[in-house]
Amino acid sequence: MPKQIIASKSAPTTGFTEASKPPPIVQAIRFGNMLFVSGQGPLDPETKTVVPGGIEEQTRRTLQNLKSVLEAAGATFANVVNMRVVLRDTADFPKFNEIFREILDGEKVTRTCIGGTPHRAGVNVEIDCVAMFD
């Protein structure tokens, strides 16, 4: 069974080292009934620049980008079984968590949230996920 590359024009592809080169990753890969979504950050899909604002605005944009990739694969947050979150500043966790709760609107997932340094300046949150299909 070959893996299927998933791409959404409504979300950026991250992972590039310089703008003139194509990214070495894809937004998502579906393999069988599993979907693996690359880390999404708070980048504007049009400009590929970091959205202005604090952790709340960055979390909203990151989750919207993640949702767009899921939709391109025919999935929603209801299909997500696990998320991994990196916060540049763990002191942002309470504000991040409130936006996360709002956007997921009662949907439950497993989640790991750690502090770390995302690879791009100005990015304060990055989220990847694994989703399942019936």
pTM: 0.94
Residue 13 burial (CB < 10 Å; 0-12/13-18/19+)? Answer: buried
| Over residues 112-128, mean pLDDT | 93
pLDDT tens-digit profile of 68-85? 999 999 999 999 999 999
pLDDT band at residue 13, thresholds of 50, 70 and 90?
A: confident
- CA–CA dist 115, 93 (Å, integer): 9
pLDDT band at residue 100, thresholds of 50, 70 and 90?
A: very high
Question: Does residue 91 surpass a pLDDT of 80?
Answer: yes
SS3 110: strand
Residue 86 CB contacts under 8 Å (≥ 6 apart), including other chains: 39, 113, 114, 115, 116, 118, 125, 126, 127
Task: State in words which class domain 4-132 has.
Answer: alpha beta
**Residue ranges per structural domain of the chain:** 4-132
pLDDT tens-digit profile of 26-43? 999 999 999 999 999 999
pLDDT score recorded for residue 114: 97
Q: Going along the chain, which residue ranges are E strands?
A: 4-6, 28-31, 34-40, 80-87, 110-115, 125-132
